[in-house]
Structure 1
Amino acid sequence: MAIFTGPAIVLNATVIVVTLMHRQLRQPLNYALVNMAVADLGAALTGGVLSVVNNAVGYFSMGRVGCVMEGFSVSLFGITSLCTVALIAVERMFVVCKPLGQISFQSKHAAGGVALCWLWSLGWNTPPLFGWGRYELEGVGTSCAPDWHSRDPRNVSYILCYFALCFAIPFALILGSYAKLLWTLRQVSKMGCMEGGAVARAEASVARMVVLMVLTFLGSWLPYASLALLVVHNPDVTISPLVGTVPVYLAKSSTVYNPLIYIFLNKQFRSYAVPFLLCGQNPWASEEDEEENQTTIMVGPDNNRVSPK
């Protein structure tokens, strides 16, 4: 957990700091990326740091109230981050595919999407505080989360709703949005609008990025969601605490993967974040200058469309 938590704090904090420092990064299509960094930083500070401390002492040291507070905070930040990943996919699809016609993407649209992520997460993580579901120790007993084990009908109904609305729907949006984006690029490629196979190369690049995003999402969250559903479906199943802890930490590891995939692979953010981290040095500077002379597609927020450069 320390190996995951340390870099997660540094990377996400860097994204927030460089965004505050450079006005060029404060544009509508970057709002979701910064929001994801804020949510992941919150998850790392609450879930990651506390897990490191509690694992070091060997038990959950904050009592029942601390368990509820930690479970709520980690879940709030985690689901907000997960929903923001879905928001990024939807935004990219709208900007590239323009399903509603030539409607420009403005600050109010970006701010509305960010607000919806927080409200959605808050709405579905608050019920355990009032009796529908509850927060309990999980895995080896050094962290807290929604209780997957209780057979109480209220708890089971909450977990099923939680899975459907906070995992299945975001995942469906991610798949649908990126499928539409790839289909659009395929149509453009068939039209032969660009010479020299530029669109085909762009399409392959986007496809690789999409596969990486989807696989990382599944690797981080699917084991956790699957274990929860397994326990809900068969409460008598025997799962050792150690095995039950692995999916928990995989989910928390997304706080490291997200900034690396969505932000540091984004040329615009990388050009500011890497020099900030390396005291002015940028090993990718020459590579980025070369890219300026080629036709590319940027799936990041700085240029979500096919364009000649």
Structure 2
Amino acid sequence: MIASNLSAISCRRANSALCLSAVEEHLQASSSYRTLSPTGHLLVAVTLGFIGTFGFLNNLLVFVLFCRCKVLRSPINFLLVNICLSDLLVCVLGTPFSFAASTQGRWLIGDSGCVWYGFANSLLGIVSLISLAVLSYERYCTMMGSTEADATNYKKVAGGMVISWVYSLIWTLPPLFGWSRYGPEGPGSTCSVDWTTKTANNISYIICLFIFCLIVPFLVIAFCYGRHVVYLYWCIGLSPLYK
């Protein structure tokens, strides 16, 4: 900021319109992520604090109940615990940093911390979404199967959990190796995938991320639960689709 002010003074002395324009562009670029007022940052901090605290306590309670009550240790509940794990890790590894940044109105842990934050939150968010898709497919197979579900079948559930983490890694590691990147977003107090850069490299990644990490899981969930609804209507005699 001092250098920018000195540059502006030197430009005024030289009466250089071109130089002044360059300084203004530099100042605009340096403040491009500071779009919230102090009150706005405070509201964001309060919201993040509430979400982080409530999310941590809620998911921790799920883990405690799962560990203490053997009756809850069914295959389907392991998928739910996988979702709770990803949410709990967000509350531990992500929310505290964005909360601290919002209290100060700027990112506090440098470029490397920004990359780590963007990667970790993207990874854990996709894990939750894929786990929900796996959960909906498991429920679909159980309801539509001709035989009763095997309550001791942990192998398929474990495979679904592994798939959720591996699939998420496949789509969140590329920005670390040059296909797009992780950087500041919004008011500069959080970091994520670069959503704004208009290059072929970045746009191609955003499109693939949108298709394979949002559209595909959404379609799986919609199909599975849609079939659930149709099946339930058939069970009560209201749907001709299964006749």
Q: How many angstroms apart in 1 are the aligned matches of 2:221 and 2:183?
A: 30
| Equivalent residue, structure 2, for 1:113 | 160
- In the alignment, which of 222, 227, 239 is matched to residue 175 of structure 1? 222
Structure 1 gaps of 5+ residues are: 192-309
- In the alignment, which of 231, 236, 239 is matched to residue 184 of structure 1? 231
| Equivalent residue, structure 2, for 1:102 | 147
**Residue correspondences, number:** 189
| Equivalent residue, structure 1, for 2:131 | 84
Residue 22 (structure 1) shift? 1.4
- In the alignment, which of 66, 70, 87 is matched to residue 19 of structure 1? 66
1:131-150 aligned within 5 A: 131-150=178-197
- In the alignment, which of 42, 51, 60 is matched to residue 107 of structure 2? 60
Residue 163 (1) aligns with residue 210 (2): yes
How big is each residue's C-alpha offset from its partner over 1:212-238, in whole Å with a ceiling of 9 and x where there is no partner?
xxxxxxxxxxxxxxxxxxxxxxxxxxx
Residue 58 (structure 1) shift? 1.3
1:193-272 aligned within 5 A: none
TM-score scaled by structure 2? 0.75
How big is each residue's C-alpha offset from its partner over 1:57-101, in whole Å with a ceiling of 9 and x where there is no partner?
111011110010110001111110111111221111111122xx4
Q: How many angstroms apart in 1 are the aligned matches of 2:72 and 2:217?
A: 26
| Equivalent residue, structure 2, for 1:151 | 198
Q: Which amino acid aligns with 1:96?
A: M
| Equivalent residue, structure 2, for 1:291 | none
Q: Which amino acid aligns with 1:102?
A: T
| Equivalent residue, structure 2, for 1:279 | none
Q: How many angstroms apart in 2 are the aligned matches of 1:50 and 1:118?
A: 23
Structure 2 gaps of 5+ residues are: 1-47, 239-243
| Equivalent residue, structure 2, for 1:128 | 175
The higher-RCO structure (CA 8 Å, 6+ apart) is 1
Q: How many angstroms apart in 2 are the aligned matches of 1:131 and 1:17?
A: 40
Residue 117 (structure 1) shift? 0.5
Residue 47 (structure 1) shift? 2.4
How big is each residue's C-alpha offset from its partner over 1:129-154, in whole Å with a ceiling of 9 and x where there is no partner?
00001001011101110101111211
How big is each residue's C-alpha offset from its partner over 1:144-170, in whole Å with a ceiling of 9 and x where there is no partner?
101011112111100100000000011
Residue 102 (structure 1) shift? 2.5
1:1-40 aligned within 5 A: 1-40=48-87
Which structure has the larger Rg? Answer: 2
Aligned-residue Cα RMSD (Å) equals 1.3
SS in 1 for 2:85: helix
Runs of 4+ in 1 over 4 A off after TM superposition: none
Q: Which amino acid aligns with 2:235?
A: V
